[in-house]
Amino acid sequence: MFQTLLHRFVTVAGIFYLMAIHSLLAVAGPSNSLLDISADGRLLACSNRDSGTVTVVDPTTFTKLREIPVGHKPEGVTFLGNSHQLAVAIYADDNVAFVDADKGEVLGRCEVFDEPYSVVSTRDGSRVWVTLEYPGHLIEIDTKSRKILRTFNAGSFPRGLALSNDQHTAFVTEYYTATVRLIELASGKEIAAVPASSTDNLARQITVHPTLPKAYVPHQRSKITAAHGEGSIFPYISVIDLPTADGPLKDDLKRKRIPMDSFIGNLVTASPWETAISPDGQQAVIVFGATDDLFVMEVRDDNYRELTPIRHMNIGHNPRAVKYSNDGKWFWLYNALDFELVAYDAKTLQRAGLVRVTENPLGDEILRGKRLFYSALMPMASRRWIACSSCHPDSDPDGRTWQNPEGLRNTPPLVGLAWTHPQHWSADRDETQDFEHTIRGLLMQGRGLINGPVAESLGSPNKGRSRDLDALAAYTNSHTVPLSPHAKNGLSDAAKRGREIFFSKETACATCHSGPYFTDSNPSTKPVLHDVNTGRSDPSEKMPLKYDTPTLLGIYRSAPYLHDGSAKTLKDVLTTNNAGDKHGKSSHLAANQIDDLTEFLKALPYEDPQPAAVAAGLRKVDR
């Protein structure tokens, strides 16, 4: 009897042991980052979004070796296997560039549909996996032929990407929901989705632990019911239990949110950007893009606290990336708005070296404005939770509709802003300097940038009263509109038919959505507002029910639509949200004509609007 029990015990223990080994194999793998270190530890590479370059550094001597132009807005970067070749996601040019880091040459490119964000390499370097934020794909590229082998659906706006150690599974995070999807790489099937809270937002990265079946996702929460300095935006790391080899799948995957604003006393941080785990799995670092600081943490395997703070450190402007050296002795930080890499000793936490990776490509004024836009510190915010970039990251929307005091307001993208003033859905701000009211108001509770009282939003100018405020306006107005990926090969036949419908007398779309920016709202003429019967469904609306005509450029990626976010799709704008034909005439259109019109809207812009705007004598706002 006793022997049988003992035998059983040993067998069970053996199974657990095997499972443990198996689970070791099942997890750790590469994670996406804006920084990578070669397998031999001799090269470090970072992508410089503003400069359009990749910089290669010798991490042992802290020297910059070379800077390589790669294209517009590079994001994720990875070394291929054990080599000194790199793959870089060129976000704005829609390709993945392959670079020889020793020679500083671009070897070739793989064109992708749109917005490559993360790129990770398989261990042998034969493949890279890439997330395409739009239209929501995970793609496999053969690094020899530089051709796309397979394309899988990966949810909506996928950004973060990591591979399991056995390279059988990809972990992908959705930017606007922080949902984590597990995708089986052999079949492309989604084997599990780990949903987040409806408030979780801006999840750019996922890191897997080297030995434990856990993943870490830095992200924020956007609590839309409270547009208020203390209750709107919160920083987190979500810890996700990954399946072990035999282990629970689907519903059993747990996630736990660790708040990063009460981690050390009442110290608040904002805009968690990337996390790194040391190679021995004992230590972790998270960087905060808006409070310019980081936490060093001890990793616990207790399914309870998970992470305990060791140290808080103030670092440089807008840190966006962190990576440990392969031996775990150092960690490297990328301070994006200082254009610097800084190395810290992982034990003593002393600064060990600094490398300037690129020269400021923005000019002094835009850089100053961009630093302010990304800052949750004084004079921008007194409570440290919120920066402009918390809701307008890199000029994109946050995918949210906020309950503002004046009613429900969907966050618009800031692209093309310089040509589409006045601002806000209700056109209640005529210059970007009026956002001094946002800084000083309940939302951010900052000291503000103007010395003395601020003029009313539609009153006398706030422009010219503060160099910093003018710089903030200059940066905010600097975003151009990317061309639609739906019109790369010109307009499709459906889009051409849709164009006829759009410009027809009957629908009258172009009477308000006029000119190169598809709006009658521009800084050259007096503001015109229109009641298109969209303001009556929100009982909290406090403003007159007339709205500023929004630009239609780039709306293929900015759902939901209308000021209150009440239309989930473009089709809804034209059908369910236009019951009485008060917003153009659309009721006479057959279903296939609505589809054609939608195809046309998705193809905007199919050409650069700026030359046509200049030719038409339109004026733009510089600051």
Alpha carbon separation from 337 to 287, 290, 375 (Å, rounded): 14, 11, 11
Query: Nearer Cβ to ligand HEC, position 299 or 621?
Result: 621
Does 385 sit near ligand HEC (CB under 6 A)? no
What gap in Å lies between CA 493 and CA 162, rounded to an integer?
Answer: 39
Of the two residues 201 and 205, which places its CB atom closer to ligand HEC in the complex? 201
The reply to whether 323 sits near ligand HEC by the rule CB under 6 A is: no
Q: In terms of CB distance, is 232 or 445 closer to ligand HEC?
A: 232
- Rounded Cα distance between 87 and 211, Å, is 26
Place of tokens 């990793």: 299
Alpha-carbon gap, residue 458 to 481, rounded angstroms: 26
To ligand HEC, the closest distance from the beta carbon of 361 in angstroms equals 21
State how far the Cα of 303 lies from the Cα of 312, in Å rounded to an integer.
23
91 binds ligand HEC (CB under 6 A): no
Q: Which of 238, 236, 277 is nearest to 256 (CA)?
A: 238
Nearest CB to ligand HEC, comparing residues 146 and 368:
368
Instruction: Give the nearest distance from C-beta 175 to ligand HEC in angstroms.
Output: 16
Task: Compute the least distance from the CB of residue 322 to ligand HEC, in Å.
Answer: 25
Cα radius of gyration rounded to whole Å, the chain: 25
Site residue total, ligand HEC (CB under 6 A) = 51
Applying CB under 6 A, among 286, 561, 605, 609 the residue interacting with ligand HEC is 561
Shortest distance, CB of residue 565 to ligand HEC, whole angstroms?
A: 8
Nearer to ligand HEC, 165 or 521 (CB): 521
Q: Is 150 in the site for ligand HEC (CB under 6 A)?
A: no
Cα separation, 427 vs 344, whole angstroms:
48
Query: What dihedral do alpha carbons 159, 160, 166, 168 form, nearest 10°?
Result: -30
Site for ligand HEC in 563-582 (CB under 6 A): 563, 570, 573-574
What separation in angstroms does the CA of 81 have from each of 40, 87, 213, 486, 610?
A: 10, 11, 23, 34, 43
Out of 390, 433, 522, 610, the only residue in the binding site for ligand HEC (CB under 6 A) is 390
Q: Based on the shown chain and the rule CB under 6 A, indicate whether residue 412 belongs to the binding site for ligand HEC.
A: yes
**Which of 388, 487, 495, 613 touches ligand HEC (CB under 6 A)?**
388
Report the residue number, 426 or 610, with the smaller CB distance to ligand HEC: 426
Write the interaction track for ligand HEC spanning residues 437-476; mark x where CB under 6 A is met and - where it is not.
Answer: -xx---x----------------------------x---x
Choice from 97, 203, 562, 613 touching ligand HEC (CB under 6 A): 562
Cα 119 from Cα 96, distance rounded (Å): 9
Using alpha carbons, select from 120, 127, 126, 153 the residue that is nearest to residue 138.
153
Amino acid in position 524 = S
Among 97-105, 166-174, 331-339, 419-427, which window interacts with ligand HEC (CB under 6 A)?
Answer: 419-427
Using CB under 6 A as the binding rule, the residues of this chain from 173 to 232 that contact ligand HEC are 227, 232
Our CB check for ligand HEC shows the closer of 295 and 517 to be: 517
In the structure encoding, which two tokens stand for residue 466, read together? 């503060």
Nearer to ligand HEC, 154 or 387 (CB): 387
- 539: CB partners within 8 A, 6+ apart: none
Tell me if 74 sits within 8 A of 90, measured CB to CB: yes
Stretch that binds ligand HEC, among 40-48, 74-82, 551-559, 613-621 (CB under 6 A): 551-559
Cβ nearer to ligand HEC, comparing 344 with 435: 435
Shortest gap between Cβ of 492 and ligand HEC (angstroms)? 17
Q: Hunting for tokens 């009282």 — which residue is that? A: 453
Token representation of residue 607: 């050409």
Burial of 403 (0-12, 13-18, 19+ CB in 10 A): middle
d(CA 240, CA 219): 13
CA geometry: angle 298, 300, 303, nearest 5 deg: 145
**Gap between the Cα atoms of 149 and 159, Å rounded:** 20
> Does the protein bind ligand HEC through residue 85 (CB under 6 A)?
no
Nearer to ligand HEC, 352 or 501 (CB): 501
From 381, 34, 27, 412, select the one nearest 233 (Cα to Cα): 381
- For 580, left (φ over 0), alpha (ψ -120 to 50), or beta? alpha
Closer residue to ligand HEC, CB minimum distance, 98 or 435 = 435
Q: Which is nearer to ligand HEC, 86 or 381 (CB)?
A: 381
573 close to 581: Cβ distance less than 8 angstroms:
no
Q: Is 170 in the site for ligand HEC (CB under 6 A)?
A: no
Shortest Å distance, C-beta 60 to ligand HEC:
41
Of 325 and 476, nearer to ligand HEC (C-beta) is 476
Q: From the CB of 558, what's the least distance to ligand HEC, in Å?
A: 6
Tell me which of 550, 596, 599, 609 binds ligand HEC, using CB under 6 A: 550
CB atoms within 10 A of CB 111: 14
The C-alpha atoms of residue 342 and residue 375 are separated, in whole angstroms, by 20
CA angle 288, 290, 295 (to 5 degrees): 25
Among 59, 218, 584, 609, binds ligand HEC (CB under 6 A): 584
Residues 489-548 that bind ligand HEC (CB under 6 A): 502, 507-509, 511-513, 530, 532, 534, 547
Residue 554 CA to residue 154 CA, distance in Å, equals 21
* Per-residue x/- track, 421-440, ligand HEC (CB under 6 A): --xxxx-----x--x--xx-
CB 572 to ligand HEC: min, Å:
9
Contact residues for ligand HEC, defined by CB under 6 A: 227, 232, 386, 388, 390-392, 402, 409, 411-412, 414, 417, 423-426, 432, 435, 438-439, 443, 472, 476, 502, 507-509, 511-513, 530, 532, 534, 547, 549-550, 552, 555, 558, 561-563, 570, 573-574, 583-584, 586, 597, 601
